[in-house]
Structure 1
Amino acid sequence: MAEETSELQRQVEALGPWFHNLHLPGGLQTVPDHFLGGDFPSFKWQQIQGSIPQDLKGWRVLDVGCNAGFYSFELARRGAAVVAIDMEPLYLAQARWAARQFGLQDQVEFREQQVYELARSNEQFDLVWFMGVFYHLRYPLLALDILSQRTRRMMVFQTLSLPGEEVYPDTSDHPITEREPLLAAGWPKMAFIEHKFSGDPTNWWVPNHAGIEAMLRSSGLRVTGRPAEEIYVCVPNPETAAWKWDTQLSAVTGQSQASPVHTEREQATA
């Protein structure tokens, strides 16, 4: 037993460094002293798990930025067929290795893929898991628009965010000369990170709460729950999707978009 544990420890160290602290069979952990404090991401899962159906049999799940696969494994244990994507080969190597340790290799498909590549696919998913990725993207709203069109039942969304819960009461329209409201704490906005944030050059954006909810609505999603700080549970709501009338997404993806709202706007301004 000691020899098996020693060999497992050697394999864990060879695959490091790890970001997800996985509790492997036998009790070995991949990052027992995580720099984020506590048992990460297990403590996040504890906050979210009650918002996800216990039985996911028959559900197809997309885990965007799967890292070492912690969330993919939890969702697979509930019966889901999971497609887990990441652009970092090291994380995918960790995840594939860990899937074998847990006996979940047949329930989770790992792909080296960026979120934007999903624009060239018509794949649909019952649940889209979009946590810890949004603020690392140079083109975050493009990614959100793409993912919203592939969400059949629900999305779990999380992003780094600015302090504060304020929401400006009226963002429907303002004259071009009336710009003071845009400076209000509750106006939907994002801070742009030119260099680094928390030492990470891939941290590009930090939105406020109002901005998060506004972007989710604009991408065709409706927030139904907030199980924890910075975490939003959403369901599809295409009626509010800007991509239904704004042609920029189709120009980027090369795919035509449904445009009944566009037609309504043309009629209203004719």
Structure 2
Amino acid sequence: MAHREALRAAVDRLAPWFHNIELEQGVFTAPDHFLGDYPRFKFARFAGALPADLSGKSVLDIGCNAGFYSVEMARRGAARVLGIDSDERYLAQARLASATLGFDLKNGGVEFRNLSVYDVGALGERFDLVIFMGVLYHLRHPLLALDLIREHVAGDLLLFQTMQQGSTAPWRPIEDHPFHMAGTFDPPPFFDDPAYPKMHFIERRFAGDWTNWWAPNRACSEAMLRAAGFAIEAHPEEEVYLCRVSDVPYAEWGAAAVYPAKGA
């Protein structure tokens, strides 16, 4: 009883939590979460898209928050799991959760570090699976983040999620955009097509959060992934993509000198 009360007190000291994690029977970190049992209910929708056995694999969880996904990858047997975040409170939550669940670093479990996505090059290693979920729309420079992930840390798979707004229709890329329609001075009509790749910029707040800067539509998310050098292999949930490292397109523009081909 005393142990449970102490655990509840530790959870309360680190509140508020965005990940609702059951640390032991009946002890949850965010039982009144406005989204419900988040992110567990969301993970259930796409968990099957990931390898069930990660034995011998390494995982990088970028923007790990309280460590829900880091712990889930450790449960699947990953040999190395590193979670990074730039918020010390989230990292403290993650360390408490992983230690309570038996996945603390001392026992060969999950490691957590304070690091920005823009600084992933400092890690000096590639990971078999990179998790990049719920981060892109908080960034001032989202495509740069994807480029850096591809350049420095993505070894094989990328699990990606972002908030999306607007059309959910797919879009077939146009090879070359004309300046105006042939024989006229009219602008091309596809820019006004709701399905055209669009990144909506949020100048102030979205859902009360001033760090929600961007809201791409589906086509934009997919186009950005391809442009950064990720081939989409699965789309198991509306905002979730499982991608594999691929060649960065536009090599003739000099990108190949910066981003090596897969396996290089």
Q: Note whether the superposition's TM-score is higher than 0.5.
A: yes
Question: Which residue of 230, 234, 256 corresponds with 2:243?
Answer: 234
Q: 1:41 to 1:146 in 2, by over 3 A?
A: same
Question: Which residue of 113, 117, 120 corresponds with 1:118?
Answer: 120
Structure 1 window deviating more from structure 2 (143-152 vs 206-215): it is 143-152
Q: Which residue of 1 aligns with 2:258?
A: 257
CA offsets 1:175-211 (integer angstroms, 9 cap, x no match) = 1123321121111110011111111111111001111
Question: Which residue of 131, 149, 156 corresponds with 1:153?
Answer: 156
Q: Which residue of 1 aligns with 2:135?
A: 133
Counterpart-to-counterpart distance in 1, 2:178 and 2:238: 34
CA offsets 1:91-144 (integer angstroms, 9 cap, x no match) = 001111111111111221101010000134442010010100000000000001
Instruction: Give RMSD over aligned pairs.
Output: 1.9
* Aligned pairs (5 A) from 1:89-238: 89-106=88-105, 107-149=109-151, 150-177=153-180, 178-238=187-247
Q: Which residue of 2 aligns with 1:18?
A: 17
Q: Residue 18 of structure 2 aligns to which amino acid in structure 1?
A: F
Q: Contact between 2:60 and 2:81, CA under 8 Å: does it hold in 1?
A: yes
Q: 1:105 to 1:245 in 2, by over 3 A?
A: farther
Counterpart-to-counterpart distance in 2, 1:168 and 1:104: 42
Q: 1:87 to 1:168 in 2, by over 3 A?
A: same
Counterpart-to-counterpart distance in 2, 1:78 and 1:142: 30
Deviation, 1:6, is 1.5
Q: 1:145 to 1:170 in 2, by over 3 A?
A: closer
Counterpart-to-counterpart distance in 2, 1:232 and 1:122: 25
* Aligned pairs (5 A) from 1:42-57: 42-57=40-55
Deviation, 1:169, is 3.9
Q: Residue 56 of structure 1 aligns to which amino acid in structure 2?
A: L
Tell me the secondary structure at the aligned position of residue 90 of structure 1: helix
Structure 1 window deviating more from structure 2 (108-117 vs 24-33): it is 24-33
Tell me the secondary structure at the aligned position of residue 146 of structure 1: helix
Tell me the secondary structure at the aligned position of residue 24 of structure 2: coil
Q: Contact between 1:82 and 1:108, CA under 8 Å: does it hold in 2?
A: yes
Tell me the secondary structure at the aligned position of residue 232 of structure 1: strand
Counterpart-to-counterpart distance in 2, 1:112 and 1:168: 37
Structure 1 unaligned residues grouped into runs of 5+ = 251-255, 261-270
Q: Contact between 2:166 and 2:194, CA under 8 Å: does it hold in 1?
A: no
Counterpart-to-counterpart distance in 1, 2:75 and 2:161: 22
Percentage of matched positions with identical amino acids: 45
Question: Which residue of 62, 65, 76 corresponds with 2:63?
Answer: 65
Q: Residue 50 of structure 2 aligns to which amino acid in structure 1?
A: I
Q: Which residue of 2 aligns with 1:6?
A: 5
Deviation, 1:74, is 0.5
Q: Contact between 1:171 and 1:187, CA under 8 Å: does it hold in 2?
A: no
Structure 2 unaligned residues grouped into runs of 5+ = 181-186
Stretches of 4+ aligned residues off by more than 6 angstroms: none
Counterpart-to-counterpart distance in 1, 2:99 and 2:177: 56
